[in-house]
Structure 1
Amino acid sequence: MKKILFFLLTGFLFNVFAQEIVIKNPWVRAVPPTAKNSALFMIIQNNSDKTDVLKTVKSDVCKMVMIHRTVKQGDIMKMVHVHELQIPPRSKVALKPGSYHIMLMGLKRPLKVGEILEFKLIFKNAGEITVKAPVKMK
């Protein structure tokens, strides 16, 4: 009986602590009070054996949220809308300045350094993950 209880408890704890998608170091770029756009950055770690896909992001702080990637075309840096972001199995994808990022367009109010903003990331397999990200000067 003790062995069965041990395995049940171990399995329960493994499921609680072994999250398939883990969000690390989320932050939002601080912008001047008159700015209408900002960006959300983070590291998305996929601990599962299958590819997951970030489908969309939701937030009350702005009118529209889009996944973007910065690309260089000739001598010009340009942001390109990405409809979804694949996170390969057992890997990390960094959303950072000059690369993939989440654009926050049409800010509804000025952002203050140090405040914490909430976002809902919607994944194909992992479902909805709520992320709290501080506003930082970087």
Structure 2
Amino acid sequence: MRKILLVLLTGFLFNVFAQEVIIKDPWVRAVPPTAKNSALFMVIENNSDKTEVLKSVKTDISKMVMIHKTVKQGDIMKMVHVHELQIPPHSKVELKPGGLHIMLMGLKRPLKVGEILEFKLVFKNAGEITVEAPVKMK
């Protein structure tokens, strides 16, 4: 009986911890077959009592992955590298076109609309979370 209770309790604690960071609506922008870059978008919810930090993103689809934000300098829109993305407690951050996003640079192959790509998001507290994102035309 004690072993069953321990297993149930361990599973419960793991599920509670895993739910502190929730990834919603991930998707990758479809680009022409000759394009070298694309972007990953999503909503990241932090349901914990402490600030969460997205430290990096891993994938096999591109040579380099960086967190970027789009900023306007005068009349020019630029992308600026963000070393870490902070998500305050009990809040969410939306990664979207024209704002924060994850750049996929040096695509290793053409992307196909509808295919599902895998990414590993590395967080300071929640650790590594695997996300599957469809390629979409938006």
**TM-score normalised by L of structure 1:** 0.90
1:107 maps to 2:100: no
Match of 1:59 in 2: 59
CA distance in 1, matches of 2:137, 2:16: 32
Deviation of the 1:13 alpha carbon: 3.9
Q: Which amino acid aligns with 1:16?
A: N
- Read off the aligned partner of 2:29 and give its amino acid letter: R
Q: In structure 1, what is the Cα distance between the partners aligned to 2:10 and 2:49?
A: 18
- Report % sequence identity: 80
Residue ranges of structure 2 left out of the alignment (5+ in a row): none
How many correspondences in the alignment?
133
Q: Where does structure 1 lack aligned partners over 5 or more consecutive residues?
A: none
Counterpart residue number, 1:124: 124
Q: State the alpha-carbon separation in 2 of the partners of residues 60 and 15 from structure 1.
A: 28
* Residues 41-74 of structure 1 deviation map (CA, whole Å, 9 limit, x = unaligned): 0000000000010000000000000000000000
Cα 1:14/1:127, change in 2 over 3 Å: closer
Q: CA deviation at 1:16?
A: 1.6
Aligned Cα RMSD in Å?
Answer: 1.7
Structure 2 length-normalised TM: 0.90
Distance 1:70 1:107 in 2: 20
* CA offset digits 1:60-89 (Å, max 9, x no partner): 000000000000000000000000000000
Write the mapping of 1:58-97 to structure 2, written as runs, cut at 5 A.
58-97=58-97
